[in-house]
Structure 1
Amino acid sequence: MISETMESHKKDSPSDIKCGIITLSDSLKEKGNEGIEEDLSGQYLFERLSEKYEVSAYVLIADESDKLIQAISNMNSKGIDVIFTTGGTGLESRDITIETLVPRFDKVILGFGEEFRRKSFEKLGSGALLSRSTAGIYNKTIIFALPGSPNAVEMGLNLIYPEIGHLVKHARK
């Protein structure tokens, strides 16, 4: 069932949206600029987002909290509306994305993580319990934390893509 109210809100959504991509990877970061060429998840995000939006920043960083905070602050100060992180969402000791982001969120977008895990469960079964993907708003910038797997990034972006403008409309207020 489609909500008429929701559809009317979407019609008024902005289209001048700036996106940023942050890939967290110790192994790709060691390769320098060549690492971006091997960043399948980041490249997928770049290509798909570029179809409709401006991708204003794309960085590859090591799995370190201070580097993630710096990258987000830089993108936020440049007026980027939506940041997509990929990687660092697992349960290993080097996976710091969730612990770094969640305390900085002004608001958490609970529905994204819930739906991401539901969709993951449909595809993976109980392995979906390992997913810690989340989303939130930091200083009017929406941040989606996606796993590093290209398949997970594709699934996550498929959930997000139809609502990007609508989400940005509300985050800007």
Structure 2
Amino acid sequence: MNISDVKAYIITVSTSKYREYLEGKKPQDISGDLAEKMIRERGAVVVGRSLVDDDVHMIRSLVESLVLREDIDMIIITGGTGVSPRDVTIEAVKPLLEKELEGFGEIFRWISYQKRGGIAMLSRATAGIINRKLIVVLPGSPDAVSTGLELILDQATHILSIAKGL
């Protein structure tokens, strides 16, 4: 599998941006835009993007439908990974993971610790496999998205080849 074979979908989780969207505004999604740019620059294809509220059912429902699509290999989710009561992305996604790539979160936090110190322990970034798709859940800050994608895109084709049994 080559990186040009990888088809990605990006989900941005944000209550404030979702409210703006419901009000008819076009919310600025810096992290989602960055994710799309980085994925495309590596040579992969972005087949779609969605913006959702910090809502377990909304996030889970979208992920459950996307993992059934044949035109998606990788789902990148940004936002909702902190420790505030509204941060529910991990609670929505983690129960769906068939295989968790615990090393991704560990390495992500290690890199974050080197950059920002102890605040890295608040990160709940994770990755895993659902229905032979690579799922990556990242904090919503542009720096976290950049760090996480640099890390996962280096291994994405290898992970997907194994997950798909190629």
1:102 corresponding residue in structure 2: 94
Q: Greater CA deviation, 51-60 or 19-28?
A: 51-60
Alignment check: 8 A CA contact 2:11 2:32 kept: yes
- Counterpart secondary structure, 1:59: strand
Find 1:42's aligned residue among 14, 22, 32: 32
Does 1:122 find its partner at 2:114? Answer: yes
2:103 matched to which residue of 1? 111
TM-score (norm 2): 0.92
Measured on the aligned residues, the alpha-carbon RMSD in Å equals 1.3
SS at match of 1:137: strand
Q: Is 1:147–1:153's contact at 8 Å kept on the other side of the alignment?
A: yes
CA contact (8 A) 2:68 2:131 kept: no
Residues 52-63 of structure 1 correspond to what in structure 2 (within 5 A)?
52-63=43-54
Q: How many residues align?
A: 160
**Gap runs ≥5 in structure 2:** none
Greater gyration radius: 1
Contact 1:15/1:165 (<8 A) preserved:
no
* TM-score between the two structures when normalised by the length of structure 1: 0.88
> CA deviation digits over 1:33-56, x for unaligned, max 9?
612xx1111000111112211111
Shift >6 Å, 4+ stretches: none
Unaligned runs of 5+ in 1: 1-11
Counting aligned pairs with the same residue, the percent is 39
In structure 2, what is the equivalent of residue 17 of structure 1? 6
Q: Secondary structure at the match of 1:43?
A: helix
Equivalent residue, structure 2, for 1:66: 57
